[in-house]
Amino acid sequence: MHRLIGCLDRFVGCLEQFVGRVDRFIGRLKQFIGRLDVLVGWLGQIYGWLTHIVGHLGDILKRVSSLKDTFHLVK
């Protein structure tokens, strides 16, 4: 009977160790996903700024083109 209890005790200890390792792995995975989420947020912000700047550049080019056409008509 003592052997059975000792065997079960070791089994439970191994199981607890395994669960602890899985728990640590899940914690690290959550941390990685959180950092990845922050990175994606930054990339989205940078993309937004770039599209905003490109939009302004497009407006400037339209105005320059319009002025160029106006001066060609004047000549």
pLDDT means over runs of 10, the chain (75 residues): 90 97 98 97 97 95 84 63
CB contact burial 29-51 (16+ within 10 A = b; e otherwise):
eeeeeeeeeeeeeeeeeeeeeee
Task: Report CA-CA distances (Å) from 21 to 13, 29, 58.
Answer: 12, 12, 55
**DSSP letter (8 states) at residue 75:** -
Q: Is this model's pTM higher than 0.85 or not?
A: no
What pLDDT sits at residue 54? 96
